[in-house]
Structure 1
Amino acid sequence: MDKKHDITQLLRNASSGDEEAFDALYPRVYNRLRDIAKLQLQKERDNHTLQKTALVHEVYLKLIDQTQTNWQDRAHFYAIAARAMRQILVDYARKRKAQKRGGDRDRIPFREDMIDLDNHAEELLELNDLIDKLARFDERKSKVVEMRFFSGMTIREIAELLDVSTRTVDRDWLKARGWIYRELSK
């Protein structure tokens, strides 16, 4: 059995409450979750207080706590991981914003390769709100933004996950970024 199918089967077993499947799943998904966290945290300053390992552990704990989730396959798992990563980073940004309270803020460009939670928590929260707003009228584009920006997935990985062509994901990414730019400049 190849790794993709092995993970899919473990996810299904774990969804059914199989404790051994939970234990066997972690080492198989850990490296991919770590890669996602690494990509995300590379956008941060070197001495950032949120560390890659802690982020991976938080995401995994959040994911395995989803006892009501019927994992369809590994792609579904990683899509949910992207959502969990977003939630954790947004929660972190909210805490940072609460600590700093007030002061003028500078707009930052919406780029998937740049985010500094310590200095731009408010902008991250604004982006989070915009992704939610985008989802109300175009769910797929919001998922593309979430997976691309928050988990650093490639266009090809997103296309596989959403079961669409890479050209479709490219178009969605371009349109979603344009919409977000317009919303940010209002």
Structure 2
Amino acid sequence: MPDDRGHDELDRLMPAAYDELRRIARRELRRRPDDTLRTTALVHEAYLKLADADGAVWRDRPHFLAIASVAMRRILVDQARERCAVKRGGGRRAVTLDDDGIAVDEQAESLLALDEALTRLAATEPRLAHVVECRFFGGLSEEETAASLGVTARTVRRDWVKARGLLHRALRG
């Protein structure tokens, strides 16, 4: 169970970031119109995950949003896994990368393919994976992502380009 300090920080940051978290959740759910989760439910599920985090400390709002983005990613991936376990047949759908970010179709298989590729990327290039989580799943700007990681916006731009290329190759191959 998290300590009181972690709960106090969560209780302080959550109201201030609630609208931003709803925006992030809405964007994620728009990519998956067949999802049964709704915006508010996704934000609340993320809150519950964050509340259960042992010893969690958030430095500032961008850091909190980055961590919340990871929680939302995990919730959506878990839901996609459940759907795939029930679903029979069908191959994986293509996941494409473009200049605006990574476009994922509404199919659970695509989200799982992206999650697997991102997990492999995190094993070798953790910062690149974190940039993808912040930019794609969290919808954070380059500046917010940079603040979350303690690097410059220019580094985030380079990492984003490199991560997209590596993920594109992983998803094609």
User: For residue 84 of structure 1, what is the aligned residue in structure 2?
Assistant: 71
Q: TM-score, normalised by structure 2?
A: 0.85
Whether 2:138 is the aligned partner of 1:144: answer no
Matches of 2:161 and 2:10, distance apart in 1: 38
Q: Is the 8 A contact 1:107 1:123 kept in 2?
A: yes
Matches of 1:93 and 1:185, distance apart in 2: 20
Question: Is there any run of 5+ residues in structure 1 with no aligned partner, and where?
Answer: 1-11
Identity rate, percent: 47
Question: Is there any run of 5+ residues in structure 2 with no aligned partner, and where?
Answer: none
How many pairs align?
169
Name the structure with the higher strand share: 2
Change (3 A) 1:49 1:57: same
| Aligned mate of 1:41, from 19, 24, 29 | 29
Q: Is the 8 A contact 1:44 1:114 kept in 2?
A: no
> CA deviation digits over 1:22-49, x for unaligned, max 9?
555432221121121122223233x642
Instruction: Say which is worse superposed, 32-41 or 71-80, in terms of deviation.
Output: 71-80
Give the greater-gyration-radius structure (CA). Answer: 1
Matches of 1:37 and 1:89, distance apart in 2: 10
> CA deviation digits over 1:103-148, x for unaligned, max 9?
233323135463344xx21121121111111111111101011111
C-alpha deviation, 1:72, in angstroms: 2.9
Whether 2:165 is the aligned partner of 1:181: answer no
| Aligned mate of 2:61, from 56, 70, 74 | 74
Change (3 A) 1:126 1:113: closer
C-alpha deviation, 1:59, in angstroms: 0.6
Change (3 A) 1:123 1:44: closer
Q: TM-score, normalised by structure 1?
A: 0.80
User: For residue 15 of structure 2, what is the aligned residue in structure 1?
Assistant: 27
